């Protein structure tokens, strides 16, 4: 990949940038330019840019693609491609790759961890010990995870991995996806509302599309109910966040474990005071091991493109 011009849209795992440099790539870092000057930066460097490496923070939208006439490939450091304008890429003949599979285990692990943390109120229990409250009395009873009815919205790679983990806790599994899956032990429901009405824990693990945007609305939240728990390791825009906050504050929803939010990193402050809400800063795949595997896959896709071999994980 000697002298390949690569636009990096956002600060990524350092190993990825180091490996691209080691392979002789010419890196142009969009994030060194003020956001208000991004378009000017792109135009000034357009002749050098053949590839874009992006992630879930700053992707490749239509304006960026139009500003880069020499662009050949977009390789996103994520499984989700909602920050990439796939229609524009198809129009321009720009190839797109992502990093599926390698992050499945970490995201599924976090989903189960969030569910247990919400039901057992682990962060609140930690604070209880740290502030010395244990010396004056015991911690209130919480709720078990084992045996809870787990509903999964989107039974793809990650959804299936979550289901398999939940099964180890003797949790009955149900799901809603665009179509039935070949898993006879899992009950299929034809709509998110039906699924929410028949589970204790609802896990959002579907891709973000026009059809799934705001798929968790007031009706679904109310169907989950005051004993139910919502876990979102998908995307913030899957959930009507204002309705979620209202339901949690009013007690119409039992709890939530959230790794993603509508306007990251801006989080509704009402959530900060709730012990039945556990939040993480969009770190579903953020382990050293998985980040290295994702970086290697990004690099392998770029190398395959440059030497004319089939892409490893093509999206477009």
Q: Which of 235, 237, 238, 305 is the catalytic position? A: 235
Q: Residue 305 catalytic?
A: no
Tokens representing 55 are: 């992630």
Q: Which of 95, 176, 238, 282 is the catalytic position? A: 282
Residue whose tokens read 């797109």: 96
Measured CA to CA, the distance from residue 78 to residue 63 in angstroms comes to 21
| Ramachandran sector of residue 217 (left: φ over 0; alpha: ψ -120 to 50; beta: rest) | beta
Q: Which of 19, 167, 264, 303 is the catalytic position? A: 264
Q: Residue 218 catalytic?
A: no
Give the H/E segment covering residue 97.
Answer: strand 95-97
Q: Residue 29 catalytic?
A: no
Secondary structure of residue 51 in the 3-state scheme: strand
Distances (CA, A) of 315 to 18, 114, 307: 25, 30, 19
DSSP for 4-42, please give it. -EEEE-S---HHHHHHHHHTT-EEEEGGGS-GGGHHHHH
Query: Annotated catalytic sites, by residue?
Result: 235, 264, 282
């Amino acid at each position: 990949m000697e002298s390949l011009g690569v636009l990096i849209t956002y600060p990524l795992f350092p190993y990825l940038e180091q490996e691209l440099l080691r392979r002789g790539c010419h890196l142009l870092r969009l994030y060194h330019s003020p956001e208000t000057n991004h378009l000017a930066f792109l135009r000034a460097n357009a002749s050098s840019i053949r590839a874009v490496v992006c992630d879930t923070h700053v992707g490749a939208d239509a304006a960026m693609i139009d500003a880069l006439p020499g662009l050949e490939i977009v390789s996103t450091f994520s499984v989700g491609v909602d920050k990439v304008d796939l229609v524009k890429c198809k129009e321009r003949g720009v190839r797109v790759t992502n990093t599926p599979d390698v992050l499945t285990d970490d995201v599924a692990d976090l989903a189960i961890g969030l569910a247990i943390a919400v039901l057992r109120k682990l962060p609140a229990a930690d604070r209880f010990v740290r502030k010395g409250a244990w010396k004056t009395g015991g911690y209130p009873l919480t709720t078990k995870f084992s045996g809870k009815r787990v509903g999964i919205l989107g039974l793809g790679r990650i959804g299936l991995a979550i289901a398999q983990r939940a099964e180890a806790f003797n949790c009955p599994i149900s799901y809603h996806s665009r179509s039935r899956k070949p898993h006879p032990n899992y009950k299929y429901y034809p709509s998110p509302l039906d699924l929410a009405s028949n589970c204790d824990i609802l896990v959002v693990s579907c891709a973000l599309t026009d059809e799934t945007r705001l798929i968790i609305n007031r009706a679904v939240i109310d169907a989950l109910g005051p004993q139910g728990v919502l876990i979102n390791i998908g995307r913030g825009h899957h959930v009507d966040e204002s309705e979620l906050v209202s339901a949690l504050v009013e007690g119409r929803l039992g709890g939530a474990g959230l790794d993603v939010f509508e306007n990251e990193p801006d989080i509704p402050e009402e959530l900060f005071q709730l012990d039945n809400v556990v939040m993480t800063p969009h770190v579903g795949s953020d382990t050293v091991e998985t980040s290295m595997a994702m970086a290697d896959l990004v690099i392998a896709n770029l190398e395959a493109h440059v030497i004319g071999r089939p892409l490893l994980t093509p999206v477009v």
